[in-house]
Amino acid sequence: MDTTLDDPLVGRVLDGRYRIDARIAAGGMATVYRAVDTRLDRVLALKVMHPALAADAAFVDRFIREAKSVARLAHPNVVAVFDQGTDGPYVYLAMEYVSGCTLRDVLRERGALQPRAALDILEPVLAALGTAHRAGFVHRDMKPENVLIGDDGRVKVADFGLVRSVDSVTNTTGSVLGTVSYLAPEQIESGVADTRVDVYACGVVLYEMLTGAKPHLGDSPAQVLYQHLNEDVPPPSAAVPGLPVGLDELVAEATARNPELRPYDAAALLGLTREARGRLGDAELDAVPPQARAEVRSSAEDRTGVIPRPVAAQPVNLTSRLETLPPPPSSPAAHRQAPAGRPRRGVFLVIAGVLLALGVGTGVWYINSGQFTKVPNLLGKTEAQARSQLSAAGLGVKRVDRKFSDAFDRGTVMNTDPPGGRRIRGNGAVTLTISRGPEVVAVPNLKGRPLEEAKAELTKSGLAPGIVTQAFSQDVAQGTVISSDPAVGDKRAPDTAVSLVVSKGRPVQVPTVTGLPVDQATAGLEALGLKVATAPEQVNSPAAAGTVANQSIGAGSQAAAGDTITLTVSKGPRPTPVPNVTGQDVDAARKALEAAGFKVKVERPFLSFSNTVDSQSVLGGLNAPEGSTITIRTKGL
């Protein structure tokens, strides 16, 4: 039963920073949530230890060790740990949130993978583990559930919760932590966990990717453990005929039961993997595997468990129960002797410990980030709010439908597919149905409403703001609505555009200010309620320097209070070359001077009958102010 809604942390802000939005998965020791870092505004995964365990120093130390260990592994294929802290009874890790699926999801849906795809996944996994191994850490729980494949195709290794220093060896009377199907023989037998146990697990994962099934299957975890101890991992080509021999050899090297025969660490296995790929052609890499799906088991053998190994002082009580336990019926090991140096009684004691541990329900230490998300309840939310909540949940929007509704306000979510509360894959998409409001909408009374307020009211009513024009009004305040088209009360279909006429206020008659000093012109215009600006550049004009040469709204025009009139300042007439008209006919001289921008005055001496220019007040070639008067004289007696 889904108890996410009963989780006390969902909806809470942890440590004043991390807002918990949804529970992703829960295990025996910790629960993983999808959260938002409110300080940096990013989605992340929050792994919170169960409060009942927070008092156990060993568990807390393991939590803190994971944070410190992964923080040192700055690698693009490792799920990053951002922060670690406590909030009252809660101890937490803030980790990178990967939107996508696990390799287990891929194997369940597709079964065996093409060799190229299998190697494309294995190589970044080995690169990540190689970095951990060279930094001095062993993962100890490699399996498809801990390989995350993002929506962007990136591969990341997750769950370093069982990470342990390379130099650390589990006591032989202690416990084995890991997952039954991927435990190396030395982990089962003696608790040794160096870099080669990760190499073994990666070999098993590669076999599973190439064949779609695990190499060791049984009706119980004990039978699987027996096979790890007594049988070699079979070549993948035995299950999928036609696979290249090079891949068989790679699996065999990685899963050698004698750890001395395996590559020393993941970096060494990565080198062998790349060599094996280099020997394969495109046809071998892209060979299509059988379309059988991987066998899905929901037993404890797929879970990360804390598996007690038997204490040496108490073997007799268990042996009598297990000496008759047969190996798996299909296993040739049923007819073999136990390998030299490995007492048969010890094997049974290990299996007995596993059976007892699983029989009493030993909890999962950690469940990885999970890939199914609960669709949030979005009814009544705006489209923007719905998209934001879906994005925060790691979900997308498949499409948006719009329908009429009398029950839901326009623009709000009236339905989702899948509905709220349904669980879908973490990278899934939801169809939103948005209300268009009622089928017929009456135009509201907007007179006297500010423009933006009127637009919002139209939108809320289910109509659309249309063209906005302005007009002077003696009784409606400037910036508010005078009228609408269609008129108030008219009924229209939703989304019909409504044009608005907005008041410019009472009109102001603009006076003439050209030729006036700028400060005098400015004072006069501001007294009328107008704003005044001065053009950045002055111009030559007939007006005196420092006076207004031009105004942006002409004299006699109407303007609204608050309108801005730009004044252009004169820097006086422009100096202009005077044409030489001496000796020319008076009429021709007049035309030449006027064409150059001058005014012309003609002087004739008394009793002069000549029509030829004898002299001019400004000699030809000299400059005179544009628009000034040039006097020309005719010859006298």
- In 3D space, the residue among 341, 350, 342 whose CA is nearest the CA of residue 319 turns out to be 350
CB atoms near residue 602 (< 10 Å): 14
Q: How far apart are CA 80 and CA 19, in angstroms?
A: 19
- In 3D space, the residue among 89, 8, 30 whose CA is nearest the CA of residue 368 turns out to be 30
User: Which candidate in 21, 105, 141, 194 is catalytic?
Assistant: 141
CA dihedral 370, 374, 375, 379 (to 10 degrees): -150
Q: In sequence order, what are the residues at sequence separation of 6 or more whose Cβ sits closer than 8 angstroms to the Cβ of residue 564?
A: 530, 531, 532, 533, 552
CB atoms near residue 524 (< 10 Å): 15
Please report, for residues 53, 269, 507, the alpha-carbon distance to residue 511 in angstroms, rounded to integers and kept in the order given.
85, 90, 13
Examine the residue annotation and report whether 152 is marked as an active-site residue of this protein: no
Q: How far apart are CA 77 and CA 80, in angstroms?
A: 9
Helix (H, G, I), strand (E, B) or coil at 266: helix
Q: How far apart are CA 195 and CA 348, in angstroms?
A: 26
DSSP 325: P
Q: How far apart, in Å, do the first and last CA atoms of the chain sit?
A: 128
Would strands 42-49 and 90-96 be described as parallel, antiparallel, or unpaired?
antiparallel
Please report, for residues 221, 230, 231, 285, 333, the alpha-carbon distance to residue 339 in angstroms, rounded to integers and kept in the order given.
21, 8, 10, 37, 11
DSSP code string of 451-512: HHHHHHHHHHHT-EEEEEEEE--SSS-TTBEEEEESPTT-EE-TT-EEEEEEE--SEEEPPP
* Residue 60 structure tokens: 């807390």
Instruction: Write out the catalytic residue numbers.
Output: 141
